[in-house]
A = this chain, B = another copy of it.
Amino acid sequence: MTQRLAAWTQHTQRSALQDMLEITSGPEYISFGLGLPNAACFPTEQLALSANEVLLRQSNPLQYAPSFEPLKRQIQELMSRRGVTCSTSQIFLTAGAQQGIQLLARLLLDPGGTVMTEEVTYTGFLQILEPFQPRILTVPTDPVTGIDVDRLETILQKEERPACLYVIPSGHNPLGYTLSREKRQRLARLAAEYEVPLIEDDPYGFLAYDDLELPAVKSFQSDGVYYVGSFSKILAPGLRLGWIVADEAIIEKLSIVKEAADINTATLTQRIAADFLAKDAFELHLRHLLLEYKSRRDCMLEHLSAQLDGIGAWTTPSNGMFIWVRLPAHLDAMTLFQESIATEKVTFFPGNVFAAGQNGNASSSFRLNFSFNDPGKIEEGVARLSRLVKRHL
């Protein structure tokens, strides 16, 4: 039988992310590619205790169920650390942040509609857009200072109002920047003034390494800002838990879209997370996680400096999991990547993977993840990578 599929699927392909996941699974590779947390940092034994508690002591941990109120209250408390005051009825649980963004896109965007994002942005957002075949308005961005809010305003003045603006203000993926307080305030004001729904993707907001936890954009402007949070980076991705903070009217619409998507978020993992978060263990876990990731970040920066000083450029990310490395313009990161797979066996994401629309600047840059590997592997991986880069100078 001829396979007849929806029109948008004709031009779609497996993402580099998926291919990478398979390619780099062998032990001979050092992976700086995927945005994976460090598995040794998961509070596995404590989650085992919570699983026991939930399954043997709580009633109905395995049934279909509406969102678990105690977990929503824990999230409410987490949000106050991000400067956001909200009620539990403004919190909506999702199967990870990716689902949160996807449900919001379904709610905000018409097929063929217009969306706005940075020239270099999270690939998962671009994948979400594909079935909508939208017009994408791209805003210039910078690895150090982040989204260009002046240009953003110019575009908003000139163009039709987009269905949404997507941003990652803290520990940007892939650029690593964390937006200043002033730019956050400006973003919040522009979203309100031009009535553009703003999706604030904040998986790395809690991963702040330098005592500089800037408040969420949503803290400056609640109305029309859709905050998306995740337990994948601060607890464990294998639970598939995230959340959205939005107006109650939107929550009601979201519940319709969510029910059509997968009925409800897994009752069991909701309960396990809630049990763990209710204990003091979470504070200790988060403090430990920050120390571990900070030392990995510093280790990668140290070895990059030792090996590529004067050749490449990068910044110290205050949040998240990524360092964005810019090389001289004549180097092509995709070529380096292909050679690396074959020879040095270190993986990373070439910059163009993250390009929304046309942006030549990303082709000589690449993204390195520093959370996944131990310092020893980081040192070895940076050495291999530097050897590769130097061969191409």
A residues with CB within 8 A of B: 1-9, 12-15, 17-18, 21-22, 34, 36-37, 39, 42, 44-45, 47-48, 51-52, 55-56, 60-66, 94-96, 98-99, 102, 106-111, 113, 124, 127-128, 130-131, 161, 163, 192, 195, 197, 223-224, 232, 236-240, 247, 249-250, 252-253, 255-257, 259-269, 272
Which chain B residue lies CB-closest to A102? B261
Min CB distance, A307 to chain B, in Å? Answer: 29
What separation, in Å, do the CA atoms of A9 and B1 have in the docked complex?
35
Oligomer copy total:
2
Tell me which of B22, B52, B163 contacts A51 (CB under 8 A).
B52
A13, A18, A238: residue with the most chain B Cβ atoms closer than 10 Å: A238
Tell me which of B5, B15, B108, B259 contacts A107 (CB under 8 A).
B5
Min CB distance, A130 to chain B, in Å? Answer: 7
Q: Would you give 30 A-B contacts (Cβ < 8 Å), ordered by A?
A: A3-B224, A3-B249, A5-B253, A6-B110, A17-B259, A36-B64, A37-B63, A39-B60, A39-B62, A42-B63, A44-B55, A44-B56, A51-B51, A62-B236, A62-B238, A63-B238, A94-B262, A95-B240, A95-B262, A98-B260, A99-B261, A99-B262, A102-B260, A124-B260, A124-B263, A128-B260, A238-B267, A238-B268, A239-B266, A268-B269
What separation, in Å, do the CA atoms of A218 and B131 have in the docked complex?
28
State the 5 A-B residue pairs at the shortest beta-carbon distance, nearest first. Answer: A238-B267, A62-B238, A62-B236, A48-B55, A1-B224
Chain B residues with Cβ below 8 Å from A259 are: 15, 17-18, 98, 124, 127
What separation, in Å, do the CA atoms of A237 and B267 have in the docked complex?
8
Contact across chains for B250 and A268 when beta carbons are under 8 A apart: no
Which chain B residue lies CB-closest to A17? B259
What separation, in Å, do the CA atoms of A306 and B199 have in the docked complex?
58
Min CB distance, A164 to chain B, in Å? Answer: 9
Chain B residues with Cβ below 8 Å from A232 are: 64
Known A-B contacts A12-B253, A15-B259, A259-B18; the reply to A36 vs B55 at CB < 8 A is no
Which chain B residue lies CB-closest to A58? B44
Chain B residues with Cβ below 8 Å from A5 are: 107-108, 253
Tell me which of B15, B102, B238 contacts A256 (CB under 8 A).
B15
Chain B residues with Cβ below 8 Å from A52 are: 48, 51-52
What separation, in Å, do the CA atoms of A94 and B266 have in the docked complex?
12
Chain B residues with Cβ below 8 Å from A269 are: 266, 268-269
Chain B residues with Cβ below 8 Å from A223 are: 1
Min CB distance, A229 to chain B, in Å? Answer: 15
